[in-house]
């Protein structure tokens, strides 16, 4: 199988390195110092005292790779439209497209049978690039449960988690899904094939949409946020609103916010990916985590005062963060 990973951040490097252990022909679309580093020494994965170094083909030009059997997008959601345009030469009518990203994807309402079916989500695909370049019938939805960070270009530190959930967004057949499942299993991921990938995406979002932004705003690990009763109560109010949104689009969550907090609290003092991005002065992923749920809520006629407040504060924080990083 010919596989290309688009994006050489923490998750992209981790996935590329693990897939390179298989019989797949693995390519990585990267830029700048990361491209140079991977070209010279390969991808390095560090995990609990062990190291894995694997060679992959690397380039900043998708034309050099040509059409692929599988393209995995491991970029931030706000970078996906540009990444899709850069990746056109990787994709033909037979290519399976697997977005491995946080938050609500561009196709989320395209594949639902509910009243909001076929509605475009401008918050994550403002100009329709993703819809045009990445056909939903070729999309294999993905959810990764893992924590990684880049310690230097081309090198990723794996902290915890190994879960990879996949499921057809709309039109893939069983053989295509099983082929990707077998590949991910060969790469030693803990793979689950979901009968309802939309639910799995929404369920992960349900926790991420509070802990990620609040950790970025406060600079605190999740244990400190959940140990403060008012901070936890605010997170719960956002999650309660997200539960109502989910119920309106066929993604009903049976757990309570308190149930999810107990799970998160057991993970201890860990830094979310958004806190890591904030510490690095990067543009934060608020579109897919906050703006898209708000957009769906508006379409469904659901009031979301707590979500609105969190989104407003995060927009201001993100503007300040990116302004300072550019100086």
The confidence band for 237, taking pLDDT boundaries of 50, 70 and 90, is very high
Does residue 56 fall inside a structural domain?
yes
Cα–Cα distance for residue pair 34/15, rounded to 1 Å: 15
Q: Tell which of 195, 227, 257 closes a domain.
A: 195
Q: Say whether both 266 and 169 belong to one domain.
A: no
User: Measured on CA atoms in the order 84, 5, 278, 210, is the torsion positive or negative?
Assistant: positive
Cα–Cα distance for residue pair 42/35, rounded to 1 Å: 9
Q: Tell which of 149, 178, 195 closes a domain.
A: 195
Cα–Cα distance for residue pair 306/237, rounded to 1 Å: 6
Q: Say whether both 254 and 165 belong to one domain.
A: no
The predicted model gives 8-32 an average pLDDT of 96
Specify the CATH number for the domain of residue 177. 3.40.50.720
Q: Tell which of 195, 221, 246 closes a domain.
A: 195
Report the domain count for the chain: 2
Does residue 290 fall inside a structural domain?
yes
The one catalytic residue among 204, 232, 266, 271: 204
Q: Say whether both 18 and 159 belong to one domain.
A: yes
Give exposure, 269-296, as e/b (b: 16+ Cβ within 10 Å). Answer: eebbbbbbbbeeebebbbbbbbbbbbbb
What lies within 8 Å, CB to CB, of 260 at 6+ separation is 206, 207, 239
The predicted model gives 204-219 an average pLDDT of 95
Q: Say whether both 231 and 308 belong to one domain.
A: yes
Range of the domain at 314: 199-322
Q: Say whether both 217 and 131 belong to one domain.
A: no
The confidence band for 224, taking pLDDT boundaries of 50, 70 and 90, is very high
Does residue 327 fall inside a structural domain?
no
Q: Say whether both 46 and 147 belong to one domain.
A: yes
266 a catalytic residue: no
State what percent of residues in the chain have pLDDT above 70: 98
Return the pLDDT at 116.
Answer: 78
Q: Say whether both 9 and 153 belong to one domain.
A: yes
Q: Say whether both 269 and 213 belong to one domain.
A: yes
Q: Say whether both 105 and 229 belong to one domain.
A: no
pTM of the predicted model over 0.75: yes
Return the pLDDT at 327.
Answer: 60
The confidence band for 117, taking pLDDT boundaries of 50, 70 and 90, is confident
Q: Say whether both 247 and 294 belong to one domain.
A: yes
């Amino acid at each position: 199988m010919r596989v290309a990973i688009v994006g050489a951040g923490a998750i992209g490097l981790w996935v590329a390195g693990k897939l390179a252990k298989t019989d797949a022909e693995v390519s990585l679309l990267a830029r700048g110092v990361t491209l140079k580093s991977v070209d010279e020494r390969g991808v390095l994965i560090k995990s609990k005292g062990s190291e894995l170094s694997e060679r992959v083909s690397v380039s900043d030009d998708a034309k050099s790779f040509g059409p692929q059997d599988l393209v995995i997008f491991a970029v931030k959601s706000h970078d996906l439209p540009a990444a899709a345009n850069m990746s056109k030469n990787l994709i033909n009518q037979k290519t399976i497209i697997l977005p491995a990203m946080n938050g609500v994807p561009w196709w989320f309402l395209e594949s639902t049978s509910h009243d909001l079916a076929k509605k475009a989500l401008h918050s994550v695909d403002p100009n329709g690039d993703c819809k045009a370049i990445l056909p939903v019938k070729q999309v294999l939805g993905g959810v990764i449960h893992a924590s990684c960070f880049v310690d230097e270009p081309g090198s990723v530190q794996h902290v915890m988690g190994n879960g990879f959930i996949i499921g057809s967004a709309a039109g893939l057949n069983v053989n295509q899904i099983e082929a990707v499942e077998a590949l991910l299993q060969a790469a030693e991921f803990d793979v689950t094939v979901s009968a309802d990938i939309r639910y799995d995406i929404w369920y992960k979002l349900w926790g991420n949409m509070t802990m990620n932004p609040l950790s970025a705003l406060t600079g605190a690990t999740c244990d400190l946020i959940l140990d403060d009763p008012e901070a936890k109560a605010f997170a719960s109010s956002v999650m309660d609103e997200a539960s109502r949104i989910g119920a309106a689009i066929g993604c009903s969550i049976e757990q309570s916010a308190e149930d999810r907090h107990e799970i998160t609290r057991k993970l201890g003092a860990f830094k979310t990916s958004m806190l890591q991005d904030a510490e690095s002065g990067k543009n934060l992923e608020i579109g897919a985590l906050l703006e898209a749920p708000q957009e769906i809520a508006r379409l469904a006629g659901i009031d979301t005062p707590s979500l609105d407040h969190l989104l407003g504060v995060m927009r201001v924080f993100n503007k300040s963060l990116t302004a300072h990083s550019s100086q």
